[in-house]
Amino acid sequence: MFTIKETVEINAPLATVWGIFSRMEDWKNWNTACENCTLASGTDIAEGVCFNFMLRPYYLPLKVTPKIIKCEPGQEVVWAGGRLGIQAEHTFTFKEEGAKVIVTSVEVFRGLMLIIGKILFIPGKLHRLTQKMMAQLKEHAESCACE
């Protein structure tokens, strides 16, 4: 098992941050870490919804198709899925503190294939993708007047 945790402080209202994050079909406008994000079922981010996106820990893309297992709008989203013998659960929490929002991402990976993943430096590459996504969410929310 390994865990990736990243936190970012965003100087924007919660409604703005949540609005940007929850419109997964618009991730293409700001999120280069998760490419081609589309909802596979449902029309909004919600419990039970499946979605797809591509990650590039290396040059070749890796398609990921998780299912949202918990969604409390403006507070928390949890999705889970598996690929190539590795199971993952990704939690995002949103906490409003005055005029800013603290977003925390925690990814937990399990499975026998983690041994090979660690040899190939996958944890570090995935952590860099998480850092990139969080930085881009911050940049977009702080420069956006949308809600």
CA 39 to chain centre: 14
The interaxial angle of helices 122-143 and 14-22, nearest 10 deg, is 130
Are the beta carbons of 142 and 12 closer than 8 angstroms? Answer: yes
**pTM of the shown model:** 0.88
Tens digits of residue pLDDT in 92-106: 999 999 999 999 999
pLDDT of residue 110: 85
Q: How far is 107 from 62, CA to CA, in rounded Å?
A: 17
Question: Among 3.30.460.10, 2.40.30.10, 3.30.720.120, 3.30.530.20, what is the CATH number of 2-143?
Answer: 3.30.530.20
Q: How far is 124 from 103, CA to CA, in rounded Å?
A: 20
pLDDT of residue 147: 46
27-41-56 Cα angle (round to 5):
40
Most confident of 24-28, 44-48, 76-80: 76-80
Confidence of residue 141 (pLDDT cuts 50, 70, 90): very high
Tens digits of residue pLDDT in 72-88: 999 999 999 887 777 88
